[in-house]
Amino acid sequence: MKNQWTNYYTGYVKVKAFGRGTERLINSLTRRGLHVWDVKRIGTEALVFYMEISDIPKLRQIVRKSDCKVTFLHGKGVPFLWKRVLKNSGFLVGLFAFLFSIFILSNMVWGIEVHNAKPETEHAIRKELERMGVKVGKLQFYLDDVDTIQRKLSDEIEELTWVGVELKGTTFHFQVVEKQQPKKVEATSPQHLVSKKKSIITEMFVEKGKSIVKVNDYVGKGQLLVSGIIGTEEKPEIVSAKGVIKGQTWYKANVEVPLETKFSVYNGDEKTKHYLKFWNVSIPIWGFIKPDYSNYEEEVTIRPLYFLQWKLPVSYKEKTWRSKEEIKRVYTKKEAVAEGKKMARSNLEKRAEEGAEIIGEKILHESIENGKVKLSIHYQVIEDIATGQSIIQGD
Amino acid sequence: MKGGSFFMARKWGQQLKQLIVKKADLPEDVIMDLPRITMIGQLHIYIENHQGLLAFTDREVRLMLKHGHLLIKGSAFVIKTILPEEIMLEGQIEQVLFINE
């Protein structure tokens, strides 16, 4: 007996035969070697049976010689299924078009929201974003990643201290911290002014309060400068002392400058490979040669693809190799000293008060040790030394 | 099949064949063109060496044999497969009759 499992793939038809001598028809069919199965009697004069598509021409020949007539009821198997799929291909195309458009729309930018920014800053951010191409309707695929946008924004816009960039679905959220914070309301609680560090007073401007010290006085740390208690001793009045007391202070800075420094810098050579990432498997699609840089840095960018809110297991991966070169910087002693001074000054600016003025600079000690220039510099600085110290009431 | 052999014994050739079968211990259906019928309970009947379909309804199937007919009675008959010399019938089989003419 013939195996029947291939019938499904080659296709078969259900045939109805009617007329006189349907049995004879079946006999002649089988004698001609046609494969016939599932024969059933319908009523008195009709039979239904199944047969292979490829046997239909033979069936026609045999039927012509018999007293029967045949009609085909329906076809089954892959050829018919395929025909139906083609006939309904509009639906299929529509379904794919629909999924594709949802996929495209899911990967677009649909909103840009800037939080906690003044209108001017927000405008600047939006303008900068537009310049970078971050616009509503753009494909996320072509945009820089979140970290790059964040870095570019902080670099380009002066007013920003920090900007948090977050991509939530199709919306960019920018969390802004601006440099100019609203000024704090000045403390009006009763206070003295005391010295922050030891110094010689050079300038005094007292707005409120009773000054205790004079110009050219030497004061130590924490010494009372301007008292918040005014009036006579019998009838004291407590106020919030206010004023600017400038004094000369001294700083000593120690810096070390190596004469030889090695840097690694990019020399501009780079190579990029593109991959499609399925789950954890990366399949290269462009760029197959691994660069033979002796010294390089690798950078990997992965761009996820979305379908509605779901991250697809497929993502696009870009791998960039940047060639690096070692560069040696050599200072002469003179250059090293100049560099050291510069470093010391910028260090000093951090340590001293804002608006401090350097009036004197003196190198105390200078030596070369282990290929390093060691400097010890003394600075004279004029700065505001006053700070508030609240008066505890009821004393 | 015993009844069949009795009636076939009239012919000379048949007699010879029967002799060969007996002496050489060869299968009867091959030598003597007899149908080989396999039944699985009342569900299936499988007939080899038939000569064609004479009548087929869902209650009765008549098959031509070399000598005579085979009549199968029952209900809900469906021919699962039919080949020139083989037929596989499915349904509720009640009777299998040999009709000799």
Contact status of B30 with chain A (Cβ, < 8 Å): no
Determine the average pLDDT of the residues in A108-115.
89
**Can you list the positions of beta strands (E) in A43-78?**
46-52, 68-76
Q: Tell me: pLDDT of B1 over 50.
A: no
Instruction: State pLDDT tens for residues A261-318.
Output: 888 888 888 888 899 889 888 888 888 877 788 888 888 888 888 888 788 888 888 8
Any idea which residue has 């939080």 for tokens? A115
Query: What's A322-365 look like in SS3?
Result: EEEEEEEEECCHHHHHHHHHHHHHHHHHHHCCCCCEEEEEEEEE
What percentage of chain A carries pLDDT values higher than 90?
16
Question: 């970290």: which residue's tokens?
Answer: A147
Q: How far apart are the CA of B81 and the nearest CA of chain A, in angstroms?
A: 4
**Residue of A5, A23, A55 best to disrupt the B interface, most CBs of B under 10 A:** A23
Q: What is the pLDDT of residues A162-205, one digit of tens each?
A: 888 888 888 889 888 876 555 555 556 788 888 888 899 998 88
A233 falls in which pLDDT band (50, 70, 90)? confident
Quote the pLDDT of residue A3: 62
Instruction: Tell me the whole-structure pTM to 2 decimals.
Output: 0.46
Asked if A242 contacts A209 with a C-beta cutoff of 8 angstroms, the reply is: yes
pLDDT of A1 above 70: no
SS3 B65: coil
* Predicted confidence (pLDDT) per residue in A70-101, tens digit: 999 999 899 999 998 889 889 989 999 999 99
- Structure confidence at residue B31 (pLDDT): 72
| Shortest CA distance from A32: residue in chain B | B84
Nearest CA in chain B to A49: B79
Q: Please name the amino acid found at residue A273.
A: K
Predicted local distance difference test score (pLDDT) of residue B92:
94
- In eight-state DSSP terms, residue A108 is B
Nearest CA among B38, B56, B58, B34 for reference residue B47: B38
Residues of A in contact with B47 (CB under 8 A): none
pLDDT tier for residue B43 given thresholds of 50, 70 and 90 = very high
B52/chain A closest Cα distance in angstroms: 6
Mutation site for B-interface testing, chosen from A40, A41, A44, A47 by largest number of B Cβ within 10 Å? A41
Q: Hey, is the C-beta of B75 within 8 angstroms of any chain A C-beta?
A: no
A26/A34 Cα distance (integer angstroms): 9
